Amino acid sequence: MKVDTMRRIDHLAGVPLCALLSGLLRLWRRFRPEARTAPHKVLLIELSEMGSTILADPAMQKLKQKLNAELYFVIFAKNAPSLYLLDTIPRQNIFMIREDSLLHLAGDTLAFLRWSRKTGIDSVIDLELFSRYTALLTGLCGATNRVGFHAFHNEGLYRGEMLTHRVAYNPHQHIAKNFVALVNALLSKQEERPYSKTIISDDEIRLRKVSISTTQQSALREQIKQHFPAGQPEQQHLVLINPNASELLPQRRWMPERYVALMKMILDTYPDVVILITGAPAEQQEAEGLRTRVGNERCVNFAGQLKLGELPVLYSIATLMVTNDSGPGHFSAITDLPTFVLFGPETPALYGSLGNSTPIYAGLACSPCVSASNHRKTPCSDNRCLQAIQPQQVFDTLRPVLDKK
């Protein structure tokens, strides 16, 4: 389904269903008060953003360290591979919901409700920012402890009153710290209104790094050579260009002609650099159009050539990456790859990568224009926040890394 269709369903069906379920839960608790239980089986819900599974990993690590809890996760099926990058959640503990059709969505939702109760989930943490659908999953999954963000007196999106631990979402701190705040609420020994009255240090949101073998690196260099026979991957330096962004927020895309200009600058200045244009299989045609416009044999269309789980290997042998504000900017954070992320409708203060990342952000008065309170939907069709970023500016920002190679 299209993103806007899902948003409409979330609003038109979600609001009355959340109101109805909230009333039923209040009535149920009046006759059968819920007794809090110690968390042993903790379910996390994050459906739509692949990068958020990386940003949530410090919170999941804290759950494992403090509670020694068994962790479970529910996510849209197409985004599940992002959980495999760090393998924090055992794969048999991941429940996938298909969102490609309303029929699949409804069927998998009912299957999830059966699965969660059969599994014995006692605690659930809703990582989504004011999604009514995930609020319904949280309220119906059978967990005694239900943690999530609550609007309180803010102008947030209504999604009922199904939480036992209502956390105040803080729009002034990084989302990874907000995720840790949800965990702190579950760990709290006393009632709070709102949760979570804790200090979260930068050390608490440090990401683990993946280990890549030389065998994996050698195999990937050979794969690159198949696409660029004239190349010498062990001697040349790889620059990765990720020109795409998810359909959730197309305004995050820097203009194709700007990428073309940037790639020409890099290739003209550094004769030992090979550029790989990366992306999903569906983005091959767009990548090929960029490659053709660059017109240099050292610019290679590599879109669709790797599975998501293979990307960390590519990142481990590359010199740097330039990307829109999208999943790859977060996936690279589990390696040491210098990554330059172009921000516009979002702000790096809240959604910046936790890795070796440099945000490039114009900081217009209207930016950021998306937030939790507007369901991350903007009326803007003229993303001047990204148009304000010139290729020369990006080139000058990344040159120190290329000069040191």
Please determine, for residue 249, whether its predicted confidence score (pLDDT) is greater than 90.
Answer: no
Q: What is the pLDDT of residue 232?
A: 77
Please determine, for residue 343, whether its predicted confidence score (pLDDT) is greater than 90.
Answer: yes
Confidence band, pLDDT 50/70/90 cuts, at residue 380: confident
Indicate if 190 and 298 belong to the same structural domain: no
Contact 7, 375 (CB under 8 A): yes
What six digits make up the tokens of 382?
């003229």
Instruction: Give me the domain span that covers residue 136.
Output: 3-205
- Cα separation of 368 and 345, whole Å? 5
Indicate if 193 and 127 belong to the same structural domain: yes
Residue 209 burial by Cβ neighbours in a 10 Å radius (0-12, 13-18, 19+) = middle
Percent of the chain with pLDDT over 90: 71
Indicate if 80 and 170 belong to the same structural domain: yes
Indicate if 49 and 117 belong to the same structural domain: yes
Q: Tell me 206's DSSP state.
A: P
Indicate if 188 and 146 belong to the same structural domain: yes
Indicate if 363 and 225 belong to the same structural domain: yes
Please determine, for residue 97, whether its predicted confidence score (pLDDT) is greater than 80.
Answer: yes
- Cα separation of 335 and 210, whole Å? 6
Indicate if 265 and 286 belong to the same structural domain: yes
Average pLDDT over every residue of 222-236: 83
Q: What is the pLDDT of residue 35?
A: 67
Please determine, for residue 173, whether its predicted confidence score (pLDDT) is greater than 90.
Answer: yes
pLDDT in tens, 278-314: 999 989 999 999 999 999 999 999 999 999 999 999 9
Q: What is the pLDDT of residue 304?
A: 93
Contact 245, 258 (CB under 8 A): no
User: Which residues, at least 6 apart from 263, have a Cβ–Cβ distance to it below 8 Å?
Assistant: 241, 275, 290, 294, 296, 299
Please determine, for residue 14, whether its predicted confidence score (pLDDT) is greater than 80.
Answer: no
CA 46 to chain centre: 9
- Please give the mean pLDDT across all residues of the chain: 91
CA-based radius of gyration for the chain: 22
DSSP string covering 6-47: HHHHHHHTHHHHHHHHHHHHHHHHHHSPPPP---SEEEEE--
In the three-class reduction of DSSP (H, G, I as helix; E, B as strand; rest coil), residue 162 is classed as coil
Confidence band, pLDDT 50/70/90 cuts, at residue 33: low
Indicate if 76 and 141 belong to the same structural domain: yes
Task: Please say which residue of 205, 238, 256 terminates a domain.
Answer: 205
Indicate if 227 and 172 belong to the same structural domain: no
Task: Please say which residue of 205, 233, 256 terminates a domain.
Answer: 205
Task: Note the pTM of the prediction, 2 decimals.
Answer: 0.91
Confidence band, pLDDT 50/70/90 cuts, at residue 48: confident
Q: What is the pLDDT of residue 36?
A: 74
End-to-end CA distance of the chain: 44
Average pLDDT over every residue of 144-152: 92
User: Which residues, at least 6 apart from 275, have a Cβ–Cβ distance to it below 8 Å?
Assistant: 238, 239, 240, 241, 263, 266, 267, 294, 298, 299, 300
Task: Please say which residue of 205, 233, 264 terminates a domain.
Answer: 205
Dihedral pair phi/psi, residue 172, rounded to 5°: -110, 5
The domain total for the chain is 2
Interhelix angle 57-67/175-187, nearest 10 degrees:
20
Average pLDDT over every residue of 315-324: 96
Contact 160, 185 (CB under 8 A): no
In the three-class reduction of DSSP (H, G, I as helix; E, B as strand; rest coil), residue 283 is classed as helix
Indicate if 196 and 224 belong to the same structural domain: no
Average pLDDT over every residue of 383-389: 92
Indicate if 177 and 302 belong to the same structural domain: no
Q: What is the CATH number of the domain that holds 373?
A: 3.40.50.2000
pLDDT in tens, 322-339: 999 999 999 999 999 999
Other C-beta atoms within 10 Å of 256: how many? 13
User: Which residues, at least 6 apart from 86, have a Cβ–Cβ distance to it below 8 Å?
Assistant: 54, 57, 208, 210, 334
Contact 44, 125 (CB under 8 A): yes
Sign of the C-alpha dihedral computed for residues 144, 149, 152 and 157 taken in this order: negative
What six digits make up the tokens of 72?
């479970």
Determine which of 224-228, 303-307, 356-360, 387-391 has the lowest per-residue pLDDT on average: 224-228
Q: Tell me 195's DSSP state.
A: B
Indicate if 327 and 186 belong to the same structural domain: no
- Closest residue by Cα to residue 355 from 369, 341, 343, 366: 341
Confidence band, pLDDT 50/70/90 cuts, at residue 37: confident
